[in-house]
């Protein structure tokens, strides 16, 4: 099963919960409100959390990893001291974390310099993986699901199902 099933196990409950909340919100507004509020309220509720995030995001500190990647080591150290070192400037964990982040970024830069797009097709195994990815994307688009979803209301109306 592997990582794919783990991702599905973690994300599916969240997506189902979101769908249930959205469905009941739409159901409630369609049955209990009239006029423009039937669509404006669900739309406004969808904009609520991104709006809050747009305000709050300016108060969230940058990640130490990003700061170190931009050569702002002192700012990264301050963030780590505040959140991981309990304010202790000489905390061993903070020093270790700074070194670990720096080493990881250095390794990633050296690995990125040696790899490019040609790595996707350089070996037989990579070519097979690319083919599988492209075939999955192609066949999922060509399976007809999008066509049925797009024209479902027209199809149902043509056979006499109105609501």
pLDDT along the chain (163 residues), means of 10: 68 87 90 88 90 94 95 95 91 95 93 79 91 89 77 84 77
Whole-angstrom distance, CA of residue 98 vs CA of residue 85: 12
Share of the chain above pLDDT 90, in %: 43
Paired tokens of 63: 């990640």
Q: What is the pLDDT of residue 115?
A: 75
Q: What is the pLDDT of residue 8?
A: 73
Nearest Cα to Cα of residue 62 among 81, 48, 75, 50: 75
Q: What is the pLDDT of residue 3?
A: 63
Paired tokens of 87: 């304010």
Q: Which residues contact 30 (CB under 8 A, 6 or more apart)?
A: 38
Question: With the C-alpha atoms ordered 122, 123, 128, 129, is the resulting torsion angle positive or negative?
Answer: negative
Whole-angstrom distance, CA of residue 48 vs CA of residue 55: 11
Q: What is the residue-averaged pLDDT of the chain?
A: 88
Whole-angstrom distance, CA of residue 98 vs CA of residue 101: 5
Q: What is the pLDDT of residue 121?
A: 86
Q: What is the pLDDT of residue 70?
A: 96
**pTM summary value:** 0.53
Domain boundaries, the chain: 1-60, 68-115, 120-163
Whole-angstrom distance, CA of residue 129 vs CA of residue 122: 11
């Amino acid at each position: 099963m592997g990582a794919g099933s783990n991702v599905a196990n973690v994300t599916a409950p969240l997506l189902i919960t979101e769908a249930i909340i959205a469905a009941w919100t739409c159901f409630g507004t369609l049955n209990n409100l009239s006029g423009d509020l039937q669509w404006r309220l669900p739309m406004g509720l969808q904009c609520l959390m991104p709006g809050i995030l747009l305000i709050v995001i300016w108060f969230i500190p940058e990640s130490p990893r990003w700061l170190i990647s931009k050569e702002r080591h002192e700012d990264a150290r301050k963030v780590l001291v505040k959140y991981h070192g309990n304010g202790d400037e000489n905390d061993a964990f903070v020093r270790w974390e700074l070194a670990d982040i720096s080493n990881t970024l250095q390794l990633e830069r050296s690995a990125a310099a040696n790899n490019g797009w040609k790595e996707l097709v350089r070996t037989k195994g990579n070519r097979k993986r690319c083919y599988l990815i492209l075939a999955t994307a192609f066949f999922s688009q060509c399976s007809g699901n999008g066509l049925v979803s797009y024209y479902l209301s027209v199809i149902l109306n043509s056979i006499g199902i109105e609501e």
